[in-house]
């Protein structure tokens, strides 16, 4: 009964629909979630796409790249299949897609504001799903924001996952001018704000398990920098996973391998499948 009431309240929250999760018999999967909604986050309505085979799954907040480039539309052609393990929340950040609004105050388009938004979304999801801690995944630019949120508030997270982990983008990016003009979010100098920040200095330690998921052919966020950063980062459990047939989005490019890693290592707080792991027997 509680689950029924929860799903009913979720359906009343916001606009839009996504494809329902199918059962093996072709019908909608009972107890699953497939919903778009917008919620007020620090003075701006921001969009969430929530998908799960079971509302009791642990929550995974997916912090997309860019700035201003949501990943959820890519899953229509490149599904992750992770909804059976997690309640995945695809958050459209301030100024992006479902969260786009030309009335957003320009002075709020800052790194600190995006980190604060990450915290607010985290707390919203913790309350909504009655989970004290959630998982957080950052992709590219999103890894720059999500990592700092996890470092500041580790008590809110079970683990941090970095896909195409940013470290020091001025050292990593080969086509800076191409990226500068690509999205609404960059009109306010957001790219210039973070490109010079070196996370090796800003975040030397994390109090939760850390997993880096890296594509062998990623030339936007150089994999060797991510590996070097993870080697020096202090954390209770660390795992580095190299996707040999992927570039910038390995969870979308090699979903079966990613599913196995998240199921066997991330959910268990282990690193058995990692190419490199610390501690070695973790």
The pLDDT tens digits of the residues spanning 192-234 come to 777 778 999 999 999 999 999 999 999 888 899 999 999 999 9
| Paired sense of beta strands 210-215 and 238-243, if any | parallel
Q: What one-character DSSP code corresponds to residue 263?
A: I
- pLDDT number for residue 279: 86
Q: Which helix (H) or strand (E) holds 245?
A: none
- pLDDT number for residue 7: 42
Most distant CA pair in the chain: distance in Å? 54
- pLDDT number for residue 113: 93
- pLDDT number for residue 80: 93
Quick one: CA dihedral 91, 95, 100, 101, positive or negative?
Answer: positive
Give the separation between CA 282 and CA 280, rounded to whole angstroms.
6
What b-and-e string marks burial along 128-159, b requiring 16 or more CB atoms within 10 Å of the CB? bbebebbbbbbbbbbbbbbbbbbbebbebbbb
| Average pLDDT along the chain, 282 residues, taken 10 residues at a time | 44 51 58 91 93 95 84 85 96 81 83 95 97 97 95 98 85 52 54 79 96 93 92 97 96 97 98 93 58
CATH superfamily of 2-17+29-278: Alpha/Beta hydrolase fold, catalytic domain (3.40.50.1820)
- DSSP notation for 46-70: EEEEEEES-TTSPEEEEE-BTTTB-
Domain definitions of the chain by residue range: 2-17+29-278
Closest residue by Cα to residue 209 from 260, 280, 251, 269 = 269
Contact 199, 225 (CB under 8 A): no
Contact 133, 155 (CB under 8 A): yes
Closest residue by Cα to residue 94 from 34, 42, 58 = 42
Closest residue by Cα to residue 58 from 137, 113, 151 = 137
Give the global pTM.
0.85
| Paired sense of beta strands 87-92 and 59-63, if any | parallel
Strand order of the β-sheet with 276-278 is 33-41, 44-52, 87-92, 59-63, 134-139, 157-163, 210-215, 238-243, 276-278
- pLDDT number for residue 71: 79
- Counting Cβ atoms within 10 Å, is residue 253 exposed (0-12), middle (13-18) or buried (19+)? middle
Residue 119, SS3 per DSSP? helix
For the chain, give the number of residues. Answer: 282
Count Cβ atoms below 10 Å from residue 11 Cβ, excluding itself. Answer: 12
Closest residue by Cα to residue 37 from 47, 24, 23 = 47
- pLDDT number for residue 121: 97
């Amino acid at each position: 009964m509680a689950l029924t009431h929860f799903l009913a309240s979720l359906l009343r929250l916001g606009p839009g629909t996504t494809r329902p999760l199918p059962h093996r018999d072709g019908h909608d999967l009972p107890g699953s979630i497939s919903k778009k909604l917008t919620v007020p986050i620090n003075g701006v309505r921001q969009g969430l796409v929530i998908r799960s085979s079971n509302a009791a799954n642990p929550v995974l907040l997916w912090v997309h790249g860019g700035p201003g480039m949501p990943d959820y539309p890519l899953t229509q052609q490149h599904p992750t299949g992770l909804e059976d393990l997690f309640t995945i929340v695809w958050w459209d950040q301030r100024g992006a897609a479902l969260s786009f609004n030309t009335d957003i105050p320009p002075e709020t388009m800052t790194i600190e504001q995006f980190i604060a938004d990450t915290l607010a979304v985290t707390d919203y999801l913790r309350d909504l799903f009655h989970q004290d801690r959630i998982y957080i995944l950052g992709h590219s630019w999103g890894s720059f924001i999500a990592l700092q949120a996890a470092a500041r508030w580790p008590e809110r997270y079970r683990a941090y996952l970095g896909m195409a982990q940013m470290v020091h983008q001025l050292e990593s990016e080969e086509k800076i001018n191409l990226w500068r003009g690509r999205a609404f979010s960059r009109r306010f100098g957001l790219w210039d704000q973070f490109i010079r920040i070196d996370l090796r200095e800003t975040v030397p330690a994390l109090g939760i398990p850390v997993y880096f998921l890296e594509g062998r052919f990623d030339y936007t966020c150089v994999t060797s920098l991510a590996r070097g950063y993870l080697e020096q980062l202090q954390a209770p459990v660390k795992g580095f996973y190299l996707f040999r047939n992927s570039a910038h989005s390995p969870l979308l490019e090699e979903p079966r391998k990613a599913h196995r890693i998240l199921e066997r290592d991330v959910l268990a707080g282990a690193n058995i499948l990692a190419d490199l792991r610390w501690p070695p027997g973790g």
